[in-house]
Amino acid sequence: MLRWTVIFIILALVAGVLGFGGIAAGAAGIAKILFFVFIVLFLLSIIFGKRFKA
């Protein structure tokens, strides 16, 4: 999941540098969504991982 986030962030930066506003906005939007989903899943895995090991 983090790999996809990094890929979309890089695409957003490249599109922004080249001036493709629509592509940059779309890639940045997808990158933000994937980033927050990854953070939530990461926190859940930390919380539930500790709970089941104890």
Please write the tens of the pLDDT for every residue from 9-23. 787 777 767 666 677
Domain range enclosing 25: 2-48
Structural domain includes residue 43: yes
Structural domain includes residue 54: no
7-16 contacts, C-beta under 8 A, 24 or more apart: 8/34, 9/35
Structural domain includes residue 19: yes
Binned at pLDDT 50, 70 and 90, residue 50 comes out as confident
Does the pLDDT at position 54 exceed 60? no
Residue 9 · residue 26 · CB < 8 Å: no
Number of structural domains (the chain) is 1
**Other residues' Cβ atoms within 10 Å of the Cβ of residue 12:** 20
Structural domain includes residue 30: yes
Q: Residue 41's pLDDT is what?
A: 84
Q: Per-residue pLDDT tens for 22-44?
A: 776 777 788 888 888 888 888 88
Does the pLDDT at position 52 exceed 70? no
Structural domain includes residue 12: yes
